[in-house]
Amino acid sequence: MRPGAVKEARNNRELTLAQLGGTSLTRSAIHRIETGRSKPSMKTLVLLAERTGKPISFFLPIPSQLAASQFELERLTAETRFDEVLKRGSQILEAGGLDGHPEALVHYWMGEANVRLIRPEPAIGHLDRALRLFDDHADPWMAAHALHMKSSALYLLDDPESQPAAEAALRLCRELSPAPPMLEARILNHLAAIAVNRQEWQQAIRLYDRALSAAEPLRDLRQLSLMYEGLGMASHHLGRLTQANEYFSKALSLYALQSDMASMSRAEVNLSELLIQAGQLEAAEEHLERSLRYCHEHGVDRRNRSYTTVNLARLRQRQGRMVEAESLARQTIELAREGGELLSLATALQVLAGLLVPGGHRQEADACYEEAVGTYRALGLIGRVRACLIEHAEQLDLQGRSREAKSRWRAAALAGAGPGESQGEKLIAFR
């Protein structure tokens, strides 16, 4: 142990001895570790790292160039300098002479950096390699972290396997002794976000409540921000509008404290959803335009831009500004196709279809509805499949195309009574 490291980390986090120990370690045990009279096990060290928000290497002396490189990757990750993590990690791997557990750690940090940069494909390659090596070297602690990150990468790809991977990560996390509370909170938060996207509102609230309980003593602003945003979304769709507004406001305030422009952009869109439902279109427009400004001025990733533009298209449709709405919907479709963002793509196709029908563009509208339904179905979002089919059937009835309308009504009935319609909200809850 590096002398003074535990006390320094505890003071930085403003934790008491009891808060740092929690239910796993006594105050006196923490005091003995801080004063050097007791050497912590690896399990205890993982717990201390989780609760103080420090990488494990923060507590250790630097005995070699390899360890120094590992420390550098962890430090760069903690400082959110993800491009530098990828550059340095590539240099370490290209230098050769690295295998086993040290190689696994490099792949893990590079995988996390890619996830944080919204680059899921390369992330999965690194994380799969890390998982194999962690398994070979019997490191379930890092394996749980890597599996959680892989689930996050799958989530970014709209891959339904994200949920089973997250559930497996949660099981592995809870088998650890002591269990790392922040990792558990992150996984629960991620599962709650998946529930929101599946429109399982009550389940989402239960998961967010459990995540908040796990994270509460650790004061992780990032996780609390994400949880409040998710609670706002779930409360919104359950009709608890006052409570939803309070949650969204808390999330925005916490994101602002962290200067997290990408998350602020997304939260502005989520708050606009609430205002549109309340009929406050001008206020909703202010939030959406602010979100778009964050995207342009701060280099926010394509995924957030497509999320903002599709919701702005819906607002313009509500305002009767149909030409602008169509332009924004087409812009979103182009962005979403380029980035493989299937949920934004399906939502934009559904919006565009509804805009095309009044202009007599029936063939293109039908094609948009069909592609939207197929995309929702591929994502396993049966509630949205059903809602889109119903909308298409209603449009066909209005056009006097009763035979075609009946087939859509029948398909909607066969799709099952899933949750009601929702238009494309997606939480990114893995960080």
pLDDT digits (tens, 9 = 90+) for 69-102: 777 788 788 777 888 999 999 998 988 777 788 8
The pair of structure tokens assigned to 110 is 């590079």
Q: What is the CA radius of gyration of the chain?
A: 24
Cα angle value 180/143/213 (rounded, 5°)? 25
Which helix (H) or strand (E) element contains residue 223?
Answer: helix 221-237
What are the tens digits of pLDDT across the range 189-198?
889 888 877 8
pTM of the complete model: 0.57
Give start-end residues of each CATH 1.10.260.40 domain in the chain: 1-61
Burial of 189 (0-12, 13-18, 19+ CB in 10 A): buried
Which of 19, 431, 424 has its CA nearest to residue 227? 431
Q: Is 26 helix (H, G, I), strand (E, B) or coil?
A: coil
Give start-end residues of each CATH 1.25.40.10 domain in the chain: 62-179
The pLDDT profile of the chain, 431 residues, written as one tens digit per residue, is 666 788 888 888 888 898 888 888 888 889 888 877 777 877 788 888 888 878 776 776 654 555 667 777 887 887 778 889 999 999 989 887 777 888 899 999 999 999 988 889 999 999 999 999 988 887 888 899 999 999 999 998 888 899 999 999 999 998 887 677 778 888 998 898 888 778 788 888 888 788 777 766 555 666 677 777 777 877 777 777 777 777 777 777 666 656 566 667 777 887 787 777 778 888 889 888 888 887 776 565 556 688 889 989 999 999 999 999 999 999 999 988 988 888 889 999 999 999 998 888 999 999 999 999 999 998 888 888 999 999 999 999 999 999 999 999 999 988 864 444 344 445 545 44
The verdict on whether omega for the bond into residue 178 sits within 30 degrees of 0, i.e. cis, is yes
Domain topology for 1-61:
434 Repressor (Amino-terminal Domain) (1.10.260)
Class of domain 62-179: mainly alpha
Angle between helices 27-34 and 5-13 (to 10 degrees): 130
Q: How many CB atoms neighbour CB 379 within 10 A?
A: 18
Burial of 140 (0-12, 13-18, 19+ CB in 10 A): middle
Which of 234, 260, 264 has its CA nearest to residue 425? 234
What DSSP line would sit under 285-354, residue for residue?
A: HHHHHHHHHHHHHTT--HHHHHHHHHHHHHHHHHTT-HHHHHHHHHHHHHHHHHHT-HHHHHHHHHHHHH
Cα–Cα distance, 185 to 79 (Å, whole number): 21
Alpha helices in 53-139 (DSSP H): 65-78, 82-95, 100-116, 120-136
Cα–Cα distance, 223 to 367 (Å, whole number): 40
